[in-house]
Structure 1
Amino acid sequence: MRQSFVSGLQVSTLFIMCGAFSVPVRASEARRADQNASVPQYKGQQLPQKHSTSRESNPSSSERQLDESIEVKGQSRKFNADVVQIGTFRNQSIMDTPMTVTVLTRALLDAQGAQTVTDAMRNVAGVVSSSTSPITTPNFMARGVQIQARTNYRLNGTLPIIALSPIMLENKERVEVLKGVSALYYGFTTPSAIANFVTKRATPQPVTVVSLTGDSVGSYGGGIDIGREFGARKQFGARANGYASNMGTTVNGISGNRWLVSGAFDWRPTDKLSLKLDIENSKEETYEPGGITIPTAVNGRITLPRIPSLHNRYAARDAPYNAWATNVLGRVDYSIWKDWAFRVEGGIARTRRQRSISNVSNVNVVTGWGTNTTTYTGDQNYYNLNVRTELSGSVKTGPIRHELLFGYNRNAQIQDDQNRTNYKSFRQNIYNPVDIDFNALSVSGSTYTYGSTNTDTGYYMMDRASFAKYFTLIGGARYENYTTYINQNKNTYTVKKVTPIGGLVIRPTKQSSLYGSYIQGLESAGTAPDSAANAGTVLAPVVSSQYEFGGRYKLKNALISVAYFHIDRGLSYANPDNVYVVNGRAIHKGVEISMQGSITHELSVSVSGTWTHAVQAQTGNVAQNGKSVIGVPDYALSAFGEYRPDFIPNLGLNAGVYYVGKRSADSLQRASVSDYVTLSLGGNYRLHLVSGQTITFRANGNNVTNTRYWSNADTVLFVGSGATANFSTSFSF
């Protein structure tokens, strides 16, 4: 069964890839709007405009480019965006999107000197670290729900990339975060957030940028970014990015290297047909810093140790953590007639990882002594094979315009068998760590984990009915067929379900919108984490549902958003026997407020805050019902601003403050992790040379007060990163 599906999906994917590989390819001929250009309304799928000898020709308001990906503002310094590029809301005005979407523009990421996904995600209300060390592969939760590493991260709105290795930002134009249940378009995903990474593409303006980077903890590197459109009609284009660096960290003995090579190619052979291809390959080699397992309860309470030094390493010296990732995505768009278009896209994401896990348990919170347990898995292989086809267009029934979307999506999520080596434990002190070589550890045995294949097949449709210029009614449904095949005993289980979506958007004025939505979905309960007694076990799927009500208002060049959400989902947690189970329900509700954009022409901000109340219910354990869900802060705040004074227009000064509230670290709420605040400071200066080149200098300091804090609240705790100063210089030719 597994082989037949995988082979069939591979054939389908390769067929799509062949269409993209068979010819030279070019970047999109999407219109690149000026910073103040208006944004056309969403029309289902992108539609072509007639070619003309002039690049200035304007399509009618009812048409959009077939291959239009997004309106990129070449040199724009905007902190907010007008359109989104995610899920069923691709190329839709953010004002008409009935869910919470946060867009992290390239301007915002550059101003912050963002180099990691952690740097980017701190701008999103209620997104906090979870489960793993921020030094190796950061994990996150949103609205108190895990952002699943193998389903919830997407490339260019579709391909589920595997976030078990660091996601590189050097070739990304922006990051979009869609909050809540997203099952209609993406199938089996947790109702936390979809993080979509949009790649840089060629623009009408040639791009040649060389950059040099470094930081205060010993990192140094450099990269190149080249983009061109070419051909008699500028029908071809390519954007290539390369980056490599040696890495330093704030943890003693934890260093490494990473590199990225990527290409984004587009070709538009006719007015009706366009093809896109994205390829990226990355690698990161570093070492495991180690974590601290929370102590056992005494008299109904768990006492956590004081936070150790930011520089302490608890793992053996040179315990490896290496990861390789390859993502390939192809897409073909064809305009059938008028407003109707057809799309086929598919790709493969593969991640290979060599991972050490090294945690200190049974810690004496006074002396710091405990027992270090280390394991190593040398060949973890994960694959996602994805195919999607869509037909979209519009019809009118009297005064009502229906924008229709019909789609089919199939994804194979494959995990190979794994053999884990277990090492004899050794005494370790979290306050004054003992230094031991990884190669000196003695093997105590091995554990074999059988792989699995999850197949997610969905048929979906959606209707956006607009009438009276002020109202849009949204309705849709997805038929889901989800199957898990476990290699160990040839077991399979299948779940079939129809999940609905409904929403209403009201536009009182051009500058404002109000919305309400309801969406239901099946979600994967995930895989038992490495810290659990049943590590690697694939859990049965659960049903989740979400209500959301919100509003948006455009205040000149800034967007203000507010939303209330209520999520009801299956509850996953490690029980008192440390077995990861699905049992009971989790109720998450809260309020999110954000503001992004320019307050004045000198000051740009990105501010977001959230209040979340997440509790456990129906667990069968009276002592557990009503207790907080593990790792969820009641309050979280992110505020970043950049000031560009009129009297020195090429200078930018910025500062940020990030607050995460108190979090429960135990399902019975017997321990909690303290709240914390970190600060950032930075500046940049753009120098224009007489010869026409531009040099941009940037410096950014993160956690400038060197605050000690737990980065997560979970079975295993990790210490957050210490103070660092990042530097970069980029040369634009």
Structure 2
Amino acid sequence: MDDIDPAGNYTITRAVRFNFKYKSQAADAGLRHAFQTGSIKHEIVLNANTSTRKRYDPAGGWRQYISLSGTGNIYDPSYTARPQNIPSADGYVKAEENKLQSFGIADTLHFLDDSVLLTLGLRRQSVEQVFSDYHKTVTTPAVGLLFKVNERVSLYGNYIEGLSAGSTAPTTAANAGEVFEPYQTKQVEAGVKLDLNGFATTIAAFQIKQPSAYTDPTTNIYSVDGEQRNQGLELNFFGEQQRNLRVLGGMTWMQGKLMETSGGINEGKTAVEVPKLVAKLGVEYDITSVPGLTLTANAIHTGKQYINQANTLSVPSWRRYDLGARYVTRIGDKPVTLRASVFNITDKVYWMGQLYRGVSDPRTVQLSATIDF
């Protein structure tokens, strides 16, 4: 989409072939050890991991356009023919490489007969974006505290920092493919957990701070400007409501705000792609008359999301419903699990997000089998 007016009317003059390839490698190792010092129990955890992600673009250029033209409205879109995705005849060249490495250590200290747990940790993180010459290494802290009021009620709080690879300008931006430097995130959370005889509920308040990135609607240039602050409340529940019936779900109320923007433009506006409400509910029911058979159902709700920082354009809320079943049996002496799922059973069409403004998948049937050896 080249242009969208405040009413959501858009014009298409081209489409992009996504003819690039990715190659990812990762390794992870850890060590856990417990010991006692006086009345204090320690649980030490060491962890090291590394990952590399490479992108290969067509040798003739990674943005290859097919001429298209058309108009429509994001709230009532009309569809064009899907462009043909043709593999590059000239081969591929490496165009991007991100390397992430980290080493962490954490000690959970148990006090007062395990009624107070204190976790202290440090992580040395390194992000290298080879083709952008960005290389950043930081040591970030992690602190967590859990206080068991009684057998049913626990209070907890934590603080953690992280390092992430910088974002990449989307294909719709004038500076498509530009990679930005790594950035740090900061998160604080406090909550309460209720344990009600096999059914548990957690309620928490949280705040996350990270750099804000967006595409300027006037210049069409993607850049990092200011800070995005997400604050909210999260409710989760899980457990066996009654015999053979299990429930897992939750709701998140969140307010994403733009802070410290350049020149105060869009200061205090809602951040893009941050819905105020996200809710999920999953249910499993065992059919006692057919041992091994379980029926499943899921429902997902995502609230309205703004797609520009001025908050003049948005995509509406959407809901999706899924149904499924699994059957656990044995073939010979091997445990076998058969699964059947139908995603988006109402065949709902909705917008997925801002960067690519993608449309949801249609009703999808998925069959699978797992055999343990």
The two structures have a TM-score, normalised by structure 1, of 0.44
Cross-structure match for 2:238: 596
Q: Say whether the 8 Å CA contact 2:233–2:254 is kept in structure 1.
A: yes
Q: Does 1:465 align with 2:173?
A: no
Cα deviation, 1:8-44, whole Å, max 9, x if unaligned, reads xxxxxxxxxxxxxxxxxxxxxxxxxxxxxxxxxxxxx
Whole-angstrom CA distance in 2 between matches of 1:696 and 1:478: 39
CA shift in 2, pair 1:412/1:674, >3 Å:
closer
Cα deviation, 1:178-219, whole Å, max 9, x if unaligned, reads xxxxxxxxxxxxxxxxxxxxxxxxxxxxxxxxxxxxxxxxxx
CA shift in 2, pair 1:649/1:619, >3 Å:
same
Q: Say whether the 8 Å CA contact 1:295–1:304 is kept in structure 2.
A: no
CA shift in 2, pair 1:669/1:450, >3 Å:
farther
Whole-angstrom CA distance in 2 between matches of 1:414 and 1:699: 34
The equivalent position to 2:316 in structure 1, one of 655, 662, 674, is: 674
CA shift in 2, pair 1:381/1:603, >3 Å:
closer
Cross-structure match for 1:628: 270
The equivalent position to 2:189 in structure 1, one of 548, 569, 573, is: 548
Tell me how far 1:376 sits from its aligned partner: 4.8
Whole-angstrom CA distance in 2 between matches of 1:723 and 1:495: 43
Whole-angstrom CA distance in 2 between matches of 1:729 and 1:680: 19
Structure 1 residue runs of 5 or longer lacking an equivalent are 1-292, 306-361, 364-369
Q: Does 1:304 align with 2:47?
A: no
Cα deviation, 1:300-353, whole Å, max 9, x if unaligned, reads xx2225xxxxxxxxxxxxxxxxxxxxxxxxxxxxxxxxxxxxxxxxxxxxxxxx
Cross-structure match for 2:129: 484
What is the letter of the counterpart of residue 42 of structure 2?
Answer: H
CA shift in 2, pair 1:383/1:566, >3 Å:
same
Whole-angstrom CA distance in 1 between matches of 2:124 and 2:293: 53
Cross-structure match for 1:438: 84
The SS at the match of 1:451 is strand
CA shift in 2, pair 1:434/1:530, >3 Å:
closer
Cross-structure match for 1:637: 279
Cα deviation, 1:267-311, whole Å, max 9, x if unaligned, reads xxxxxxxxxxxxxxxxxxxxxxxxxx37433xxxx2225xxxxxx
Deviates more, 1:498-507 or 1:697-706: 697-706
The SS at the match of 2:130 is strand
Tell me how far 1:520 sits from its aligned partner: 1.6
Q: Does 1:526 align with 2:234?
A: no
Whole-angstrom CA distance in 2 between matches of 1:661 and 1:474: 35
Q: Say whether the 8 Å CA contact 2:140–2:161 is kept in structure 1.
A: yes
CA shift in 2, pair 1:404/1:655, >3 Å:
closer
Q: Does 1:420 align with 2:128?
A: no
CA shift in 2, pair 1:680/1:407, >3 Å:
closer
Cross-structure match for 1:401: 41
Cross-structure match for 2:306: 664
CA shift in 2, pair 1:539/1:685, >3 Å:
closer
CA shift in 2, pair 1:598/1:432, >3 Å:
same
Cross-structure match for 1:18: none
**Kindly, what percent of the aligned residue pairs are identical?**
25
What is the letter of the counterpart of residue 322 of structure 2?
Answer: S
Structure 1 residues 76-95: aligned runs within 5 Å: none
What is the letter of the counterpart of residue 626 of structure 1?
Answer: G
CA shift in 2, pair 1:694/1:715, >3 Å:
closer
Q: RMSD over aligned Cα, in angstroms?
A: 3.7
What is the letter of the counterpart of residue 484 of structure 1?
Answer: Q
Q: Say whether the 8 Å CA contact 2:66–2:83 is kept in structure 1.
A: no
What is the letter of the counterpart of residue 706 of structure 1?
Answer: D
The equivalent position to 1:373 in structure 2, one of 8, 15, 20, is: 15
Whole-angstrom CA distance in 1 between matches of 2:134 and 2:84: 40
Whole-angstrom CA distance in 2 between matches of 1:405 and 1:655: 37
Tell me how far 1:550 sits from its aligned partner: 2.1
Q: Does 1:579 align with 2:224?
A: no
Whole-angstrom CA distance in 2 between matches of 1:412 and 1:728: 30
Tell me how far 1:614 sits from its aligned partner: 0.7
Q: Does 1:500 align with 2:141?
A: yes
Whole-angstrom CA distance in 1 between matches of 2:30 and 2:197: 36
Structure 1 residues 248-327: aligned runs within 5 Å: 293=1, 295-297=3-5, 302-304=6-8
CA shift in 2, pair 1:723/1:393, >3 Å:
closer
Cross-structure match for 1:513: 154
Q: Say whether the 8 Å CA contact 2:170–2:356 is kept in structure 1.
A: no
Whole-angstrom CA distance in 2 between matches of 1:485 and 1:404: 34
Structure 1 residues 385-400: aligned runs within 5 Å: 386=27, 392-400=32-40
Whole-angstrom CA distance in 1 between matches of 2:135 and 2:212: 20
The two structures have a TM-score, normalised by structure 2, of 0.81
Structure 1 residues 195-206: aligned runs within 5 Å: none
The SS at the match of 2:62 is strand
Tell me how far 1:516 sits from its aligned partner: 0.6
The SS at the match of 2:269 is coil
Q: Say whether the 8 Å CA contact 2:201–2:236 is kept in structure 1.
A: yes
Cross-structure match for 1:713: 353
Q: Does 1:605 align with 2:247?
A: yes
Whole-angstrom CA distance in 1 between matches of 2:126 and 2:333: 57
Tell me how far 1:636 sits from its aligned partner: 1.2
Whole-angstrom CA distance in 2 between matches of 1:604 and 1:731: 24
Whole-angstrom CA distance in 1 between matches of 2:300 and 2:83: 37
The SS at the match of 1:396 is strand
CA shift in 2, pair 1:621/1:394, >3 Å:
same
Structure 1 residues 112-191: aligned runs within 5 Å: none
The SS at the match of 1:716 is coil
Q: Does 1:535 align with 2:243?
A: no
Whole-angstrom CA distance in 2 between matches of 1:695 and 1:406: 35
CA shift in 2, pair 1:603/1:391, >3 Å:
closer
Cross-structure match for 1:313: none
Q: Matched residue pairs, number? A: 362
Tell me how far 1:624 sits from its aligned partner: 1.1
Tell me how far 1:556 sits from its aligned partner: 2.8
Tell me how far 1:674 sits from its aligned partner: 0.8
Cross-structure match for 2:343: 702
Whole-angstrom CA distance in 1 between matches of 2:348 and 2:51: 42
Whole-angstrom CA distance in 2 between matches of 1:581 and 1:598: 47
What is the letter of the counterpart of residue 109 of structure 2?
Answer: A
CA shift in 2, pair 1:617/1:567, >3 Å:
same
Cross-structure match for 1:474: 119
Tell me how far 1:438 sits from its aligned partner: 3.3
Cα deviation, 1:345-383, whole Å, max 9, x if unaligned, reads xxxxxxxxxxxxxxxxx42xxxxxx32323353x53434
Tell me how far 1:461 sits from its aligned partner: 2.5
CA shift in 2, pair 1:408/1:706, >3 Å:
closer
What is the letter of the counterpart of residue 721 of structure 1?
Answer: D
Greater percentage in strand: 2
Cα deviation, 1:40-89, whole Å, max 9, x if unaligned, reads xxxxxxxxxxxxxxxxxxxxxxxxxxxxxxxxxxxxxxxxxxxxxxxxxx
Cα deviation, 1:681-717, whole Å, max 9, x if unaligned, reads 445667899x99999876544333333322x230432
Tell me how far 1:412 sits from its aligned partner: 4.3
The SS at the match of 2:262 is coil
The SS at the match of 2:133 is strand
Cα deviation, 1:471-515, whole Å, max 9, x if unaligned, reads 1111122234444332xxxx6343343211111112234454321
Q: Say whether the 8 Å CA contact 1:591–1:611 is kept in structure 2.
A: yes
Whole-angstrom CA distance in 1 between matches of 2:21 and 2:303: 35
Greater percentage in helix: 1
Tell me how far 1:452 sits from its aligned partner: 4.1
